[in-house]
């Protein structure tokens, strides 16, 4: 495929509804996008004490970001923000100073919650973080997904036709956005 997309799942929970959502998005992605997860689970808690000598796990994490054309964040909302594990991963990726892995890397954010707010507040927080990390973000359409029981089947299929169409179109819009960013602005 023309573009690779690394996706981060903000939740570490084994039954994560956001992991289910990510699985559905992989199925709905246009053929032009090659989707691969960039795991965040094994990263230690970041401190700048590591900056002089990043551990192997953090080096390979940053390399995984360098290796993809774009990044996608699929995240829950924990206490009106993103989970600490995801923030920790972003902090690792952003350092050492001058080696921020997100610079110029197109991104999109999406998330699912049980409640109707659909991770809206967490996504706004994440957008601030990504702005500081100099990642060009797809501003619209936004996607706040309420994940009701049965919405996503075990095989990753979306059981509601309107939601399925919305998510397929959203992934198509992300492809358009990635194409626009990477063809207009040379990557560095
Ligand atoms: C939550 N949940 C939650 N939901 C929400 O809409 N806004 C919030 O601020 C919070 N805060 C929150 C904090 C913590 C610590 C937990 C564990 C949960 C509920 C949340 O939407 C629900 O647990 C989802 O299942 C989380 O997504 P994952 O982890 O299953 O992908």
Query: Angle 172-176-178 (CA atoms, 0-180°, nearest 5)?
Result: 110
Instruction: Tell me the residue ranges of DSSP E strands in 53-185.
Output: 70-74, 107-113, 144-146
pLDDT tens profile 21-72: 999 999 999 999 999 999 999 999 999 999 999 999 999 999 999 999 999 9
pLDDT of residue 7: 99
Residues β-bridged to residue 112: 145
Evaluate: CB of 16 within 6 angstroms of ligand 1: yes
- Residue listed under structure tokens 């039954």: 15
Name the packing angle between helices 17-28 and 161-184 (round to 10°). 70
Residue 156 CA to residue 137 CA, distance in Å, equals 26
pLDDT of residue 188: 57
pLDDT of residue 184: 74
Residues β-bridged to residue 137: 107
Pocket test for ligand 1, best of 14, 78, 87 (most atoms within 8 A of CB): 78
Which residues have CB under 8 Å from 155's CB, separation 6+? none
Pocket test for ligand 1, best of 76, 79, 112 (most atoms within 8 A of CB): 76
The per-residue pLDDT of the chain, averaged, comes to 96
Average pLDDT over residues 92-114: 97
Residue 166 CA to residue 34 CA, distance in Å, equals 20
89 Cα: distance to centroid of ligand 1 (angstroms): 19
Of all residues in the chain, the percent with pLDDT exceeding 90 is: 97
Query: What CA–CA distances, in Å, run from 74 to 12, 51, 112, 135, 145?
Result: 12, 27, 8, 16, 11
> What is the ipTM score, two decimals?
0.99
Residue 1: pLDDT band with limits 50, 70, 90: confident
Which pair of tokens denotes residue 148? Answer: 């009701």
Residue 13 Cα: closest atom of ligand 1: 29
Which residue has the CA at smallest separation from atom 15 of ligand 1? Answer: 78
Residue 106: pLDDT band with limits 50, 70, 90: very high
3-class DSSP assignment, residue 39: coil
Query: b/e string for 1-40 if b means 16 or more Cβ within 10 A?
Result: eebebbbbbbbeeeebbbbbbbbbbbbbbeeebebebbeb
pLDDT of residue 186: 59
Evaluate: CB of 6 within 6 angstroms of ligand 1: no
């Amino acid at each position: 495929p023309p573009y690779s997309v690394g996706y981060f799942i903000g939740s570490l929970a084994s039954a994560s509804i956001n992991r289910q959502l990510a699985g559905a998005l992989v199925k709905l992605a246009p053929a032009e996008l090659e989707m691969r997860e960039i795991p965040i689970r094994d990263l230690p808690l970041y401190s700048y004490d590591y900056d002089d000598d990043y551990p192997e796990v953090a080096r390979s994490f940053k390399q995984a970001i360098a290796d993809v054309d774009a990044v996608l964040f699929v995240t829950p909302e924990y206490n009106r923000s993103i989970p600490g594990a995801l923030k920790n991963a972003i902090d690792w990726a952003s350092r050492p100073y001058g080696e921020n892995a997100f610079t110029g890397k197109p991104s999109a954010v999406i998330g699912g919650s049980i409640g109707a707010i659909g991770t809206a507040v967490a996504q706004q927080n994440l957008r601030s973080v990504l702005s500081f990390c100099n990642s060009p973000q797809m501003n619209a359409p936004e996607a706040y997904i309420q994940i009701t029981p049965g919405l996503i089947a075990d095989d990753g299929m979306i059981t509601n036709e309107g939601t399925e169409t919305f998510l397929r179109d959203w992934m198509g819009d992300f492809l358009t956005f990635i194409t626009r960013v990477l063809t207009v602005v040379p990557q560095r």
